[in-house]
A and B are shown apart, each in its own frame.
Chain A
Amino acid sequence: MTILEYPVHVHDLNVKDPYILADPVSEKYYLYANKFKCGVTPKDRKGTGNTFYAMESVDLVHWSNPILVFEQNDFWASEDYTAPEVHYYKEKYYLISSFSAPGKLRRCQALVADNPLGPFVPFGKPLTPPAWQCMDGTLYVDREGAPWLVFAHDWVQVFDGQICAIRLADDLSEPVSDPIILFRGSEAPWGDDFVYSTDEGGGAARAPWVHRMKDGGLVILWTNCTPYGYAVGIAKSLSDEIYGPWQQYDKPVYALDGAHASLFRRFGDGMLMMPLHHIGRDGPGIRTIIEEVEEYNGLIEIVNEFTGNWWESIGGHPIAYRGQGPCKDEPTFSKLENYGGMFARRRRVTKWAMAPETKFKKGKIATRD
């Protein structure tokens, strides 16, 4: 395998529906998209342009030029190729995306490869039910090891968009169960009006991402429209299983016109990272941002935005606070310190922090030592 150079800075990323695979084998990061507008795309591209590319990075800051990982060739689909996700499952890499052709409904399907830079080859059958217009498929492996496809049933077909799940064969080649509807766009209290929205409306449920928390809880991050643009919300399974029932939280995780979130753990300290894109309306257009997040109180909460790309592209309420031009700060990983006092229960701390002694509080501070 050739050694890559990393000339693309994370400030230049403008990928829609970004998905980053933290590859446990090579301990590198891979960003996938159907085409990149940043970096130097290889000129020898053939075929109809129905392709997937990947970028590689070792530090999340410097990225390689796009590398072709899949081309249509004989594959049936000639349209869409949206929101690719690559999952490392049973020692192979599966790329799941949604595909369609003129007159055909959009369906999710898996491609397979032996290494994260491909080449990927078509594999198995479409995974979503026939006669359903679907998008944004993601893989979820339950506690017994059974794989599920969690996907969005398009609001264009059913008006009130659905987040659905279907059980897959162990090799991800075909669905083996009837689909189940987990929840609908209308269940989020923060969604926009369905009819009089200036955008797509509160039924546009999409981009599910299933995450098993360290405390055993099961949550889904998903995207919907608010009156101020896109927002990522969170639903929690009351049974900690994919069957639900699913409860929506009245506060979205992120509501500054950002969409299509997924999660991965960064190498080193294992902090959860959440890549998503800003729409950047009336401004720079699509920008890729990566949030550092933590599990808190059974939900996902944001720690910091890592790349600085929010600076010029932020939307929603704080659109007036947008910076001029790109942010010049170097991206830096946050390191949260454990701290004590009444918040000690929040993380499992081994030592209580010592509060500074003052003459007013002297003798009243309870410390362990």
Chain B
Amino acid sequence: MEYPIHVHEIGTSDPHILADKVTNKYYMTSSGFSIRGSFGFGRRPGTIVAMVSEDLIHWSEPVTIFDCNGTDFWGQQGYPATEMHYINGKYYLSGTAGTPGYTRKSMILVADNPLGPYTWLTNEPYSPPGWQTIDTTLYVDRSGHPWIVYSHEWYQVSDGQMVAQPLSDDLSRTIGGPMILFRASEAVWGDDQIWSKTDGGGVTDGCWMHRMQNGTLIMLWTTRSRLGYAMGYAKSISGEVWGPWTQMERPLYAHDGGHSMLFRRLDDNQLMMSMHVADRGPKMLTIFEMEEKGDDLHIINEITGNWYHTVGGNALPYKKDVPCTDEPAFTRLGLSGFEALKAEGISIRKPVRKPVKKAAAAQTKEKEESKEEIESKAE
């Protein structure tokens, strides 16, 4: 396989990267690629495409992994924000699909290897009839049961919702009704829902479930702040998908970027986050290095440099006119804090109080010794 496309060239909306340990490659799906000035690059209508990479920097041309033309699949059109998941030895493609005249609904496709061809488990949508949904993701809970998590569109219900439904263990059907996890208005940093000049703070986009190393379950999701697209996360108090969910007081990234997901780098297991920046300007693929500190998630660095000429929000005055030409580079953080002190063998300073008499005696002893030394030198 050849990898002729550099990450600097990849414009995309809603990127999702599967780091596949079986084939040791990265697979990227999205709502469409815009590469070298061509929107919908390498994609025919009614198909889903993926790009492949071995190093996250150099990518293959899009490969068709699902083609509904000539089939009787229920969703004939528009596959926004598709995601690949590897669950129990099979590859699942989750997303949403529409048919003209019907609401957009969630779908799950299955294949034996990451590039497909994918096919449907049952020829029926997963989300309830009459619900306009978008951005479908899969989540396996701690007892091994799969869930479908999707967004209920704000333009149907005014205040957009994040919704979960339990799936049967073979992911072929839902076995429970929809459960509203939270609504967009719960994030304090969202835009006003009525007076906004854009879509407003009712948008719920880009749900992604992540189990942190200390066991906390978080959901990354995206809404709109007054200055553009913004993404943050919510924590589940119970540690499971049914919540209750509490929102973080500030977003994780609000320079007009969003629709994020997390994956681990194949070579060193470093946590990474992909999203698009900006939402209003040219939508470019950005890949962040992340770290977990306690039950908080933090950005370390953005590796591609694609933020350079697209960044928005508060940082708009710092947007550059030309794209970044620096080669992307991975970061390895050194130890800091208590870990570093331990590794360096430094003990934390504690106030040591010597008894006054002993200290004085020690001082006189030292003086005497030094006198002796001087005398011996003089001799």
Binding site for B on A (CB under 8 A): 102-105, 129-132, 153, 155-160, 166-167, 177-182, 184, 186, 193-197, 200-202, 216, 238-241, 243-245
Q: Report chain B residues within 8 Å CB of A184.
A: 298
Besides A102-B322, A195-B230, A196-B226, 16 more A-B contacts (Cβ < 8 Å) are A103-B324, A103-B325, A129-B329, A131-B326, A131-B327, A132-B331, A158-B302, A167-B334, A180-B333, A194-B254, A195-B227, A200-B314, A202-B250, A243-B336, A245-B337, A245-B338
From DSSP, what is the main secondary structure of chain B's interface residues?
loop
CB-defined A-B contacts under 8 Å, sample of 19: A129-B331, A130-B327, A131-B329, A157-B302, A159-B254, A160-B298, A166-B334, A177-B334, A179-B333, A181-B291, A184-B298, A195-B189, A239-B346, A239-B348, A241-B344, A243-B341, A243-B344, A245-B337, A245-B338
Q: Are B252 and A159 in contact (CB under 8 A)?
A: yes
Q: Are B335 and A159 in contact (CB under 8 A)?
A: no
A193 vs B329: C-alpha distance in the bound complex, in angstroms? 31
Q: Are A178 and B333 in contact (CB under 8 A)?
A: yes
Q: Report chain A residues within 8 Å CB of B315.
A: 155-156, 200
A157 vs B308: C-alpha distance in the bound complex, in angstroms? 8
Q: Identify the 7 closest CB pairs spanning chains A and B, nearest first.
A: A178-B334, A103-B325, A130-B329, A243-B340, A131-B329, A180-B336, A156-B315
Q: Report chain B residues within 8 Å CB of A166.
A: 334
A342 vs B179: C-alpha distance in the bound complex, in angstroms? 64
Q: Are B349 and A243 in contact (CB under 8 A)?
A: no
Q: Are A243 and B335 in contact (CB under 8 A)?
A: yes
Q: Report chain A residues within 8 Å CB of B255.
A: 156, 159
B110 to chain A, nearest CB (A): 37
Nearest neighbor of B331 in chain A, beta-carbon distance: A129
Q: Are B341 and A180 in contact (CB under 8 A)?
A: no
A161 to chain B, nearest CB (A): 10
From DSSP, what is the main secondary structure of chain A's interface residues?
loop
Q: Report chain A residues within 8 Å CB of B307.
A: 156-157
* CB neighbors of A among B278-330 (8 A): 288, 291, 298-303, 305, 307-308, 311, 313-315, 318, 320-330
A292 to chain B, nearest CB (A): 28
Q: Are B189 and A194 in contact (CB under 8 A)?
A: yes
A179 vs B331: C-alpha distance in the bound complex, in angstroms? 8
A105 vs B325: C-alpha distance in the bound complex, in angstroms? 8
Interface centre among B300, B313, B334, B349, by most A CB within 10 Å?
B334
Q: Are A158 and B300 in contact (CB under 8 A)?
A: yes
Q: Are B322 and A103 in contact (CB under 8 A)?
A: yes
A31 to chain B, nearest CB (A): 27
B332 contacts partner chain A, Cβ-Cβ < 8 Å: yes
Q: Report chain B residues within 8 Å CB of A179.
A: 331, 333-334
Interface centre among B250, B329, B332, B340, by most A CB within 10 Å?
B250
Contact with A along B248-272 (1 / 0, CB 8 A): 0011111100000000000000000
Q: Which of A181, A186, A195, A239 contacts B313 (CB 8 A)?
A: A195
Q: Report chain B residues within 8 Å CB of A178.
A: 331-334
B225 contacts partner chain A, Cβ-Cβ < 8 Å: yes
A131 vs B344: C-alpha distance in the bound complex, in angstroms? 28
Q: How many A-B residue pairs have CB under 8 A?
A: 130
* CB neighbors of A among B54-109 (8 A): none
Q: Are A131 and B301 in contact (CB under 8 A)?
A: yes
A240 vs B351: C-alpha distance in the bound complex, in angstroms? 12
Q: Are A181 and B302 in contact (CB under 8 A)?
A: no
A201 vs B348: C-alpha distance in the bound complex, in angstroms? 34
A201 vs B299: C-alpha distance in the bound complex, in angstroms? 17
Q: Are A181 and B254 in contact (CB under 8 A)?
A: no
Q: Which of A131, A195, A200 contacts B303 (CB 8 A)?
A: A131
Q: Report chain A residues within 8 Å CB of B322.
A: 102-103
Q: Report chain B residues within 8 Å CB of A216.
A: 349
Q: Which of B301, B323, B346 contacts A157 (CB 8 A)?
A: B301
Q: Are A195 and B328 in contact (CB under 8 A)?
A: no
Q: Report chain B residues within 8 Å CB of A130.
A: 326-327, 329
Interface centre among B288, B301, B340, by most A CB within 10 Å?
B301
Q: Report chain A residues within 8 Å CB of B348.
A: 238-240
Q: Report chain B residues within 8 Å CB of A158.
A: 288, 299-302
Q: Which of B288, B308, B314, B337 contacts A201 (CB 8 A)?
A: B314
A195 vs B250: C-alpha distance in the bound complex, in angstroms? 8
B69 to chain A, nearest CB (A): 41
A179 vs B333: C-alpha distance in the bound complex, in angstroms? 5
Q: Are B305 and A181 in contact (CB under 8 A)?
A: no
Interface centre among A129, A131, A166, by most B CB within 10 Å?
A131
Q: Given the known inter-chain contacts A129-B329, A181-B300, A181-B333, please indicate yes or no for A195 contacting B225, CB distance below 8 A.
A: yes
A190 to chain B, nearest CB (A): 14
A130 vs B313: C-alpha distance in the bound complex, in angstroms? 25
A153 vs B331: C-alpha distance in the bound complex, in angstroms? 13
Q: Report chain A residues within 8 Å CB of B334.
A: 166-167, 177-180
Q: Are B331 and A131 in contact (CB under 8 A)?
A: yes
Nearest neighbor of B325 in chain A, beta-carbon distance: A103
Q: Report chain A residues within 8 Å CB of B318.
A: 156
A197 to chain B, nearest CB (A): 6
Q: Are A104 and B335 in contact (CB under 8 A)?
A: no
Q: Are B226 and A239 in contact (CB under 8 A)?
A: no
Nearest neighbor of B330 in chain A, beta-carbon distance: A131
Q: Report chain A residues within 8 Å CB of B327.
A: 130-131
Q: Report chain A residues within 8 Å CB of B337.
A: 243-245
Q: Are B335 and A180 in contact (CB under 8 A)?
A: yes
A175 to chain B, nearest CB (A): 10
Q: Are B325 and A104 in contact (CB under 8 A)?
A: yes
A180 vs B333: C-alpha distance in the bound complex, in angstroms? 6
B283 to chain A, nearest CB (A): 17
A238 vs B330: C-alpha distance in the bound complex, in angstroms? 30
A54 to chain B, nearest CB (A): 28
Q: Report chain A residues within 8 Å CB of B314.
A: 194-195, 197, 200-201
Q: Report chain B residues within 8 Å CB of A195.
A: 189, 225-227, 230, 250-251, 254, 313-314
B152 to chain A, nearest CB (A): 24
A282 to chain B, nearest CB (A): 18
Q: Given the known inter-chain contacts A194-B250, A195-B227, A195-B254, please indicate yes or no for A103 contacting B328, CB distance below 8 A.
A: no
Q: Which of A132, A200, A244 contacts B301 (CB 8 A)?
A: A132
A166 vs B254: C-alpha distance in the bound complex, in angstroms? 27
Q: Report chain A residues within 8 Å CB of B303.
A: 131
B269 to chain A, nearest CB (A): 16
Q: Given the known inter-chain contacts A159-B299, A180-B333, A182-B336, please indicate yes or no for A241 contacting B341, CB distance below 8 A.
A: yes
